[in-house]
């Protein structure tokens, strides 16, 4: 069985997220998603999410491409997770290109093209514009 792992915040889940998860799952048989915890987002990423970790986890678990959701507590846990879950491929969006090449010694690393016209940031900006009209 080929195992794939990816990470993210996945707030305001949208079709760009679904496209990434679908293409990640196509790389193997089992997809693990490391979901950033609320604390990690706040203190390490400087992000405030709309949905809580538990709400985002429920949403991801409902996506047919996702087999397992695990919490992401820190930037440094990726190597340990890959080894713990026996992952063959590490996948991220291409906006992270080159950032995780240090994992090549334990698995394949692939950067998938993002869906260019959508992002959580764009949704938040557009909603702000709508509210201000």
Report the catalytic residues: 45, 47
- The helix/strand/coil state of 33 is strand
- The helix/strand/coil state of 11 is coil
User: Is 12 within 8 Å of 124 (Cβ atoms)?
Assistant: yes
- Bridge partner list, 90: 5, 109
- Bridge partner list, 110: 91
């Amino acid at each position: 069985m080929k195992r794939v792992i990816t990470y993210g915040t996945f707030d305001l889940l949208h079709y760009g997220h679904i496209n990434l998860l679908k293409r990640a799952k196509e790389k193997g048989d089992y997809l693990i998603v490391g979901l950033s915890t609320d604390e990690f987002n706040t203190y390490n990423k400087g992000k405030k999410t709309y949905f809580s970790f538990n709400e985002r986890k429920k949403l991801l678990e409902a996506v047919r491409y996702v087999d397992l959701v695990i919490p992401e507590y820190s930037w440094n846990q990726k190597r340990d997770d890959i080894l713990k879950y026996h992952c063959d491929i590490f996948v991220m969006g291409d906006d992270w290109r080159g950032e995780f090449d240090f994992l090549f010694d334990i698995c394949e690393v692939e950067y998938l093209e993002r869906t260019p016209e959508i992002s959580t940031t764009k949704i938040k900006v557009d909603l702000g514009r709508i509210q201000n009209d």
